[in-house]
Amino acid sequence: MPSRHQGTGGSVIKRAHLLALVALTLMWGVNWPMMKLSLRELTPFYFRAVTMSCGAVWLYLFYLSRGVRMLPRGAEWGSVIKLGLPNMLGWHTVSILGVKELASGRAAILGFTMPIWTVLISVLFLGEKLTRRVAFAVVSVAITIALLSSVEFTTLSGHPIGIVWMEIAALLWAIGTLMMRRAHLTLPVEALTVWMMVLSSLCLWVIAWGSEPAPLWQFSRTTWLSLVYSVFINYGFAQIFWTVLARNLPPATSAMGIMAVPMVGTLSATLLIGEWPHWQDLAALLFVAAAIAAVLLPKQKAPQAA
């Protein structure tokens, strides 16, 4: 039997992981209105280029100090490029265009339709079975998009193109997630994440230089604060927490954290930048949470006879 010390230690570790999941959910959720703050004074691609490249340096130094092998070898560079295109460059490039056009809470709701796209792609192209849960999730996401589209189309200042950007971003993230699941990696996940960020940020610098005016770097204190948040929290601590939690928490627990991110994003946007949600936003939150629960939470096993 395990000793009392071991049992207590296990419960402490479990409690620490759950607290880290709560912290991660808050960090990811608050990041949506923080991005919106940055975009008031900084163009989208320069914002992504600056924060991602600085975050990559931060993470590289952190993981190097922890003894992680950080330099890819041979064919591992191919995995970095192949997986980085949809997961890092695709998602971060397209989603920031959606955040620029939409209310940040609304963008968060649409972005986190990703798990449903993942399952739907698996059904359509990878031979997965179409279950009632998947069908329910697809209908829920369709209702979510319809609700949020109705706001953008019926408001004089609406930007329906933002919905298109966010769904393309979610689709790219879903494709990248499926590629990650099927990849046979020899490179540590920490190093993979950092080098995907490095290469993506280099591409973003080129895109920004070719399409946007150079920033003057004369920002308000609020903008500097939001940039620091993005570098050290979103691209720093959140990535570290997620790497640890992905290895230690069961999928159902991680799913609950994912479900809560859009809610945190919507509520924090009200507090930080005064974006008050419409009833359609709140209804969309419920539908997208139900869809995520349908595809990520495990089924309960029927009780077996003695």
Q: Is the pLDDT of residue 306 over 50?
A: no
Residue 246 lies in a domain: yes
| Residue range 125-153: mean pLDDT, rounded | 89
Residue 7 lies in a domain: no
Q: Is the pLDDT of residue 8 over 50?
A: no
Q: What is the pLDDT of residue 94?
A: 97
Q: Is the pLDDT of residue 6 over 80?
A: no
Question: How many domains in the chain?
Answer: 1
Query: Given pLDDT bands bounded at 50, 70 and 90, which one contains residue 143?
Result: very high
Q: Is the pLDDT of residue 166 over 70?
A: yes
| Residue range 188-202: mean pLDDT, rounded | 97
Which residues constitute the domain of residue 219?
14-295
Per-residue pLDDT tens digits for 65-106: 999 999 999 999 999 999 999 999 999 999 999 999 999 999
Residue 8 lies in a domain: no
Q: What is the pLDDT of residue 252?
A: 64
Taking the C-alpha atoms of residue 257 and residue 265, their distance in angstroms, rounded to an integer, is: 12
Q: Is the pLDDT of residue 147 over 70?
A: yes
Query: Given pLDDT bands bounded at 50, 70 and 90, which one contains residue 5?
Result: very low
Q: What is the pLDDT of residue 90?
A: 97
Residues 281-299: b if buried by 16+ CB within 10 A, e if exposed: beebbebbbbbbbbbbeee
Kindly state the tokens that stand for 32.
């949506």
Q: What is the pLDDT of residue 152?
A: 80
Residues in the chain: 306
Which SS3 state, helix, strand or coil, does residue 69 take? coil
**pLDDT > 70: percent of the chain:** 90
Do 284 and 141 contact (CB within 8 A), yes or no? no
Q: What is the pLDDT of residue 156?
A: 52
Q: Which amino acid is at 83?
A: L
Residue 301 lies in a domain: no
- Measured CA to CA in angstroms, residue 177 lies from 70, 183, 262 at distances of 22, 10, 19
Q: Which residues contact 247 (CB under 8 A, 6 or more apart)?
A: none
Residue 61 lies in a domain: yes
Query: Given pLDDT bands bounded at 50, 70 and 90, which one contains residue 7?
Result: very low
Residue 2 lies in a domain: no
Q: Is the pLDDT of residue 11 over 50?
A: no
Three-state secondary structure of 28-65: HHHHHHHHHHHCCCCCHHHHHHHHHHHHHHHHHHHHHH
Residue 304 lies in a domain: no
Residue 34 lies in a domain: yes
**Residue that the structure tokens 């949809």 belong to:** 86
Q: Which is more confident, 242 or 204?
A: 204
| Residue range 170-195: mean pLDDT, rounded | 94
Q: What is the pLDDT of residue 301?
A: 60
For the chain, the average pLDDT equals 89
Per-residue pLDDT tens digits for 220-273: 999 999 999 999 999 999 999 988 887 777 766 677 778 889 999 999 999 999
Q: Around Cβ 219, how many Cβ atoms within 10 Å? A: 16
Taking the C-alpha atoms of residue 13 and residue 159, their distance in angstroms, rounded to an integer, is: 45
Q: Which residues contact 239 (CB under 8 A, 6 or more apart)?
A: 55, 59, 193
Query: Given pLDDT bands bounded at 50, 70 and 90, which one contains residue 12?
Result: very low
Q: Which residues contact 106 (CB under 8 A, 6 or more apart)?
A: 148, 151, 162, 266, 277, 281, 284
Do 103 and 262 contact (CB within 8 A), yes or no? no
